[in-house]
Amino acid sequence: MAITIYDISQKAGVSTATVSRVINGGGNVSPATCKKVTDIIEEYGYIPNAYARGMGLRSLKTVGLLCADSSDLYTARAVYLLEQELQANGYESLLCCTGFNQDVRKNYLNLILSKKVDSIILVGSHFIASTELENEYIREAADQIPIMLLNASYSHPNVYSTLCDDYASMYEAASSMIQSGIPDILYLYNSRSYSGLKKLKGFEKALADNHIPESMRNILYYDKSAGGIEDITAFIQEMTDGRPPFHGIIASDDVLAVGGIKYTQKTGLRIPEDISIIGYNNSMLTACCTPSLTSVDNCLEALTHQLIHTLLQVLAGEQMPQKVVFSGKLIERDTTCFH
């Protein structure tokens, strides 16, 4: 059995209250007693039981992080940044990867809720469904603690959204490409989440505003189940055999865009002379591929920073805006030449 505060108090010849005071630095302990107790604790390697502790306390200075897949490049970075910010402010992080199943998600959310976290951060927009019924679990959670959304938006009391305007960003990216003289663009996407659909709308609006005819509409949905660059390349190849019927590729994600690069290289065409390519997220992949990838920077660092700022204020009882929107920026590299 693990050693308890009671054991320590006995060995040290003091009461449990005194031991508790020593541990929690509550003051009012004589230096001699303090040292004695500290030594015993050290000697026996005593570690207070977090559950017993959590019972009485109100806040455990813990925040739950929920994401679908922590191995996804974008998510991994978001999680890392959030964790660092939280740690810097004295909060622990509890990370759960739920996958994409809605039921698993609800269970995880309840699980994390039962641990008396001070707040829950939902990383990515997969958590917001299109029907009110499916979002009920979020509303229920918000009854208990503030729910923070990273890169998603949901209007409800005690739910705070911090996001990048993916609609506008994608609109701008697509417009840039069209206005550089490329009307026939392949749009690649792999997620129908809140933000995934926003991007798509932004792309379509750019086509419309620039009077691109319907016949040039070329949109491909890649179901992410398989994964792997080779898969993506093969997928594009399959959908467009022979000479590609487009001169530009815009993808909702850098990984997809790299698939586009690989595809283009296989056809023997040149980038960006024959085909221009734009990715999304401005991840490390943009620097790994050749040529380096033009991509939309959705300012993840600014988002995470702002989100934690909002959270801390909310926990402190301050009134804060329910929704904060940043704007992304197109970072030009070698897969495009817009000048």
Partner DNA sequence: TTGTACGCGTTATCAT
Partner DNA sequence: ATGATAACGCGTACAA
Return residues touching a second copy (CB under 8 A).
2, 45, 47-55, 69-71, 73, 76-77, 79-80, 83-84, 92-97, 99, 110-111, 113-116, 140, 143-144, 228-230, 255, 258, 261-262, 265, 284-285, 287-290
* Closest distance of CB 308 from DNA, Å: 25
Q: Which does 313 bind (CB under 5 to 8 A by kind): a second copy, DNA, none?
A: none
Strand partners, 330: 296
* Closest distance of CB 205 from a second copy, Å: 30
Ramachandran category for residue 52: left, alpha or beta (phi over 0 → left; psi -120 to 50 → alpha): alpha
Is 16 an interacting residue with respect to DNA (CB under 7 A)? Answer: yes
Distance CA 236, CA 266 (A): 11
Of 11, 14, 182, 307, the one binding DNA by CB under 7 A: 14
* Closest distance of CB 198 from a second copy, Å: 24
Between 45 and 268, whose beta carbon lies closer to a second copy?
45
Distances (CA, A) of 94 to 82, 113, 148, 198, 222: 11, 11, 14, 29, 31
Between 18 and 336, whose beta carbon lies closer to DNA?
18
Q: Which does 289 bind (CB under 5 to 8 A by kind): DNA, a second copy, none?
A: a second copy
- The 3-state secondary structure of 71-94 reads CCHHHHHHHHHHHHHHHHCCCEEE
Between 62 and 161, whose beta carbon lies closer to a second copy?
62
Between 29 and 255, whose beta carbon lies closer to DNA?
29
Is 99 an interacting residue with respect to DNA (CB under 7 A)? Answer: no
Of 42-50, 79-87, 260-268, 315-323, which part binds DNA (CB under 7 A)?
Answer: 42-50
| Residue 237 burial by Cβ neighbours in a 10 Å radius (0-12, 13-18, 19+) | middle
Is 145 an interacting residue with respect to DNA (CB under 7 A)? Answer: no
Between 42 and 241, whose beta carbon lies closer to DNA?
42
Distance CA 237, CA 267 (A): 9
Q: Which does 155 bind (CB under 5 to 8 A by kind): DNA, a second copy, none?
A: none
Q: Which does 45 bind (CB under 5 to 8 A by kind): a second copy, DNA, none?
A: a second copy
Site for DNA in 44-83 (CB under 7 A): 46, 48-49, 52-53, 55-57
Q: Which does 93 bind (CB under 5 to 8 A by kind): a second copy, DNA, none?
A: a second copy
Amino acid (one-letter) located at 182: I
* DSSP assignments along 197-219, one per residue: HHHHHHHHHHHHHTT--GGG-EE
Indicate the pairing of strand 329-331 with strand 294-297. antiparallel
Residue showing tokens 């740690």:
87
Is 24 an interacting residue with respect to DNA (CB under 7 A)? Answer: yes
* Closest distance of CB 159 from DNA, Å: 24
Q: Which residues, including other chains, have CB under 8 Å from residue 7's CB and lie 6 or more apart?
A: 44, 46
Q: Which two tokens stand for residue 101?
A: 């199943």
Distance CA 56, CA 35 (A): 27
**DSSP classification of residue 225:** T
Given the rule CB under 7 A, which residues bind DNA?
1-2, 4-6, 13-21, 23-24, 26-30, 32-34, 46, 48-49, 52-53, 55-57
